[in-house]
Amino acid sequence: MPWAERAAIMCGLFLTLVQAVGLLLRSKRCEVASTDLRVWIPASGLYTYPDVVVTCGAENFQDDHFDVLLNPMLIIEVLSPSAEDYDRGHKFCGVSKIPSMRENLTVAQDRCFVEQWIKRESTEWMPVSFTNSNATVPLDSIGVAPALAYVYRNIV
């Protein structure tokens, strides 16, 4: 698939995820942010730019610029061929150590496949995969369940 076509699909999927989660969170004290918000990983001292990040309650920032979030609850990454290994490996390893993190989703851009990592204990993460477009993904950390049929509605 040509790069431009892949980028358009990724962008569409990313926007749909922000919209789907944002609409479900309308009545909650949660915020959805996109790629312009950095997250600090205290264990490594590094920063990352998740595709989608969700917080509930008070947001904690590193300084008065309000561009470095310290307490993400849910991070969603749309997987691209060039960044998939990093997003599922090194990046997840870092963000999974952030104390406020409860869930991490990786979303395939070329097929219906969502991998959800749920924090069960203080450091234990459990994976769950979704491949059925009729499924919903229960995001217990924020109390919503986006429908994959909606998320993937523009993906052939």
> pTM above the 0.95 mark?
no
pLDDT tens-place values along the chain, 156 residues long = 555 555 555 566 657 787 788 888 888 889 988 778 899 998 888 999 999 999 998 988 988 878 899 999 999 998 888 888 888 988 999 999 999 999 999 999 888 999 999 998 777 999 999 999 999 999 999 999 999 998 888 775
**Nearest CA-CA partner of 76 in 156, 1, 151:** 151
Q: What is 85-100 written as a DSSP string? A: HHIIIIIHHHHTTSTT
147, amino acid identity? A
Fold (topology level) of 3-151:
tt1808, chain A (3.90.1570)
151 with 17: CB under 8 angstroms?
A: yes
In this structure, the number of other CB atoms found within 10 A of the CB of residue 137 comes to 20
So where are the chain's domains? Answer: 3-151
- CA distances to 9, 65, 67, 84, 153 from 13, in Å: 6, 29, 24, 15, 9
DSSP element (H, E) containing 84: helix 84-86
